[in-house]
Amino acid sequence: MMKKLTLMLLLAIGVAAAAASIASAQPKMTDEQALIALDKQWTAAELRLNADDRKTIDRVVAADYTGTTPFGQIENKAQYMVGLKHSEDTDVADEYVVRFFDGGKLAVMSHRGTVNGKPTYRSTHVWVKRGNDWQLIQNHVSNIGEPPATP
């Protein structure tokens, strides 16, 4: 009986060590990768906009959020949340640039958004790390228009 118990204990320790080794071998996401993933999750939630998506958006967008719309209006979180509407559009972001400040606790992100296959806007987000979570505190969106004609 004692031999079986010892063997089972050794087996359990071996399995735990192997699992820890495998877990540590998995590449850990950088803060930049995590923010880009969070940005994509937020955009997908804005488009689908079901009850769970509203919870996701509420978690991602900080209470002290301020946003500037593509048309120049300033809105707080409550105004932003009220203005959300489900959309069948596609919205794919690329050209991400992320810079970190304040010892990695503040990040400024910019990217281009392509809606339904057409580059439509550029966006700048300011993210703050609160505890272990990133939250969006500032957002500015500009529509992409035709450049002015040169004389």
Q: Residue 22 and residue 19: Cα distance in Å, rounded?
A: 5
Strand partners, 82: none
In terms of C-beta density within 10 A (0-12 exposed, 13-18 middle, 19 or more buried), how is residue 111 classed? buried
Q: Give per-residue pLDDT as tens, 35-74.
A: 999 999 999 999 999 999 999 999 999 999 999 999 999 9
Q: What is the pLDDT of residue 84?
A: 96
The DSSP symbol for 26 reads S
Q: What is the mean pLDDT of the chain?
A: 88
The three-state secondary structure class of 65 is strand
Q: Give per-residue pLDDT as tens, 97-131.
A: 999 999 999 999 999 999 999 999 999 999 999 99
Q: What is the pLDDT of residue 4?
A: 57
**With pLDDT > 70 as the criterion, what percentage of the chain qualifies?**
83
Q: Residue 136 and residue 63: Cα distance in Å, rounded?
A: 9
Strand partners, 78: none
In terms of C-beta density within 10 A (0-12 exposed, 13-18 middle, 19 or more buried), how is residue 99 classed? exposed
* DSSP H or E segment with residue 43: helix 31-48
